[in-house]
Structure 1
Amino acid sequence: MISSLSFSSSSSTATLFTCSTAPRVSTSRISCFVKTDGGGGGVWRRSRCPYLVLCTSKLRGVADMLDEENSYSRGTAAAPAVAASSSVSDQREILHPQTFLDARSGEDLLLGIRKETEAGRLPINVAQAMEELYLNYQNAVLQSGHPNANEIALSNMAVALDRIFMDVRDPFQFSPHHEAIREPFDYYLFGQKYIRALVDFRSSFLGNMSIFNEMEKKLHQGANIILVSNHQSEADPAVISLLLESTSPFIAENMICVAGDRVVTDPLCKPFSMGRNLLCVYSKKHMNDDPELIDMKKKANTKSLKEMALLLRGGSKVIWIAPSGGRDRPDPDTKEWYPAPFDASAVDNMRRLTEHAGVPGHIYPLAVLCYDIMPPPPQVEKDIGEKRMISFHGVGLSVASNINYHETTATLKDPEEAKMAYTQSLYSSVCEQYNVLTSAIHGKQGLKASTPTVSLSQPWL
């Protein structure tokens, strides 16, 4: 799902830096702020009562979720079943068709999509995307080799299609600051469960667990944590939470993602985005798609910027941003993946917001490697509704020590030079960590890929 930070610029000059992967950092003067781009395994069971959904009132009954599936070595597709709270009846939920939750097989799911399309309740383009999503997800989960892979794929997709269908019928509107919906239906656990089935934990790695523990302590003491990161797929937030859930649960569940407009408008993304804490913005890359909407988008981004400032003043906030303004993509010639260049103005704006919050704030470089499970399209697409390619694969996450702006730029007098130097420092650290994760996962070196600055572990095994 989600996230990158971008700015609308009046002018822009690009300066290239080098790092061991593929290095670039750009700078631009900002007139308006922000952008972003939004999983778990286990087995769901069908509920006899109406499924729980977002609403302002409570719902009737308890949704029957199946027994927790035992995962082998906690490292494959299975995961805890999602629990929902019991509540009073809700009219919207009662009238909601149980088309997908009643499915007993994949064929039932596909027939359900066609039935709702023929009834005029599903647009053809959304129906085609849902069918494609089911087939790709099923194939990916089967790659795990889990003995209950078919059941896992069926139960997860039944709930996913149900949530997508429900939102098509009654679209949810995101506010500038969206808080994860945990009841009466827990969208966060739904998303974690869905993505968990795609993660091969046996070949996944966490870098510098001790620094994540340090961050948790600072958050509990009232400080703010900013994670300046690369961004690889819609599943990034879920992957981060899955790799941290056993050792850094506060970060896993409370992380706020700077999220682009596409993940809060795409019908296939929205249910997953509803389970994340978001600061919703319009992407710089899509700011000019419709000239008539530019002013509206800039005003919305300014409002989100104010929301962020208010959140930081409260302290104990952990915010994940990707100052590249979008997802990483492979080099068109070498096909090699690398962290996309950071926008120096985006980094500097985040740094100033953090410093002016009135509470301690710390900025950490974070590296994410997970493009295999849900890679983006080769090029940035203007239209909503990208094709979802999905795989079962190992993923990686690493963080390095916080980088202090004033210490890094102490000898520099020119503000622009200092801004670029600080951005380069963060970017170089992300690149360094990313290379270690690449060696561990794609180079098959595993824990042996650890370096003096990046210590790999697998706390879930």
Structure 2
Amino acid sequence: MPTKDSDLLDKIANASISGPLKSNFLEFADCYVQLSVDQDTDKDEALDVMQELFDSVEQQTSNPYLFSSLHIPSEEDHSYFELGLKVARPLVLNTPEIINQHILQHVQQLLDQGENVIFAANHQTELEPQILSIACDSVAKDLFKNTFFVAGERVTTDPMAAPLSRGRRLFCIYAKRYVSDDKQIEIDRRMHNLKTIKQMKELLNRGGVCIYVALGGGRDRPDESKNVQLTPFDPSSVGLFTLLAQTAKQ
């Protein structure tokens, strides 16, 4: 157990958060510190990162940050942007190879000229914005720092993910599979999603906006032969973003 006899372990044990969250964080911290050490990161440095993350998790638990439909980080949120990079950096093994670098450079040129760009992914993990920044900044500096990520409920409500999400530009939505049986909640969530789409359209009309959206809406899962299959794009999501792109003034 890499966190054994550490201040972090004592802090987790004495924290006023739920038992399952303590267990989940400790499991993550142990894996994280061990992987960091395997990547030649100093153990104390990795523990410091986990302590900083845990402080943010505690704060999110006791005083949850409520994300609006459009989230643009404030100056106060900049520390969460940096924390996200610190958390993700040891998880990116070796130096990523970016093929077709000219495409990213062209994207940056288009944005500088006031054009809009939409990246379509099959799915998105919680740390994807941070990993994209780490992997691609050497090719297109701050491209993904300035990108709006379409974020589902989990990355804005999970106490381990929400602090890192605060450091990123987000369009916040409720996925269709999370529509509630409660009619009023369902109405509220649909109205929230409509507001988000309206804000997307307003920003696209101004131009120079980059959006990253997971059009698959799920995870890549193995088939019967144990081969991982890419999640197919959801046709309705493709149609929505095609319409947004085609009707934007820029």
Aligned partners of 1:340, 1:272: CA distance in 2, in Å?
25
Change (3 A) 1:163 1:334: same
1:211 and 2:106 matched: no
AA of the residue aligned to 2:217: G
Task: Give structure 1 stretches of 5+ with no counterpart.
Answer: 1-103, 360-461
TM-score, L = length of structure 1 = 0.51
CA contact (8 A) 1:309 1:353 kept: yes
Change (3 A) 1:289 1:234: farther
Instruction: Quote how far apart the aligned CAs of 1:213 are.
Output: 0.5
Question: 1:169 is matched with which residue?
Answer: 62
AA of the residue aligned to 2:122: N
1:230 and 2:129 matched: no
AA of the residue aligned to 2:9: L
Task: Give structure 2 stretches of 5+ with no counterpart.
Answer: none
> Larger deviation: 232-241 or 180-189?
180-189
Larger relative helix fraction: 2
Aligned partners of 1:231, 1:352: CA distance in 2, in Å?
20
Change (3 A) 1:327 1:291: farther
Instruction: Quote how far apart the aligned CAs of 1:271 are.
Output: 0.7
Change (3 A) 1:239 1:106: farther
Aligned partner of 1:115 among 11, 14, 26: 14
Aligned partners of 1:223, 1:318: CA distance in 2, in Å?
9
Aligned partner of 1:220 among 96, 112, 132: 112
CA contact (8 A) 1:328 1:337 kept: yes
Instruction: Quote how far apart the aligned CAs of 1:125 are.
Output: 2.5
1:284 and 2:183 matched: no
Question: 1:295 is matched with which residue?
Answer: 187
CA contact (8 A) 2:153 2:173 kept: yes
Instruction: Quote how far apart the aligned CAs of 1:290 are.
Output: 5.3
Change (3 A) 1:232 1:223: closer
Aligned partners of 1:156, 1:175: CA distance in 2, in Å?
27
The C-alpha deviation readout for 1:378-416, integer Å capped at 9, x for no partner, is: xxxxxxxxxxxxxxxxxxxxxxxxxxxxxxxxxxxxxxx
Aligned partner of 1:263 among 140, 155, 164: 155
Aligned partners of 2:120, 2:127: CA distance in 1, in Å?
17
AA of the residue aligned to 2:94: F
Instruction: Quote how far apart the aligned CAs of 1:136 are.
Output: 2.0
Instruction: Quote how far apart the aligned CAs of 1:163 are.
Output: 0.8
The correspondence of residues 408-419 of structure 1 with structure 2, limited to 5 A, is none
Q: Give the root-mean-square deviation of aligned CA atoms.
A: 2.0
Question: 1:132 is matched with which residue?
Answer: 27
Aligned partner of 1:201 among 94, 118, 135: 94
Change (3 A) 1:196 1:299: same
CA contact (8 A) 1:181 1:188 kept: no
Change (3 A) 1:320 1:330: same
Tell me the secondary structure at the aligned position of residue 151 of structure 2. Answer: strand
CA contact (8 A) 2:152 2:173 kept: yes
CA contact (8 A) 1:180 1:276 kept: yes
1:351 and 2:224 matched: no
Please identify the structure whose Cα radius of gyration is greater.
Answer: 1
CA contact (8 A) 2:77 2:166 kept: no
CA contact (8 A) 1:312 1:357 kept: yes
Question: 1:342 is matched with which residue?
Answer: 233
Corresponding pairs, count: 248
Aligned partners of 2:78, 2:147: CA distance in 1, in Å?
19
Provide the identity percentage: 31
Tell me the secondary structure at the aligned position of residue 144 of structure 2. Answer: helix
AA of the residue aligned to 1:189: E
Change (3 A) 1:287 1:171: same
CA contact (8 A) 1:176 1:303 kept: yes
Instruction: Quote how far apart the aligned CAs of 1:232 are.
Output: 4.8
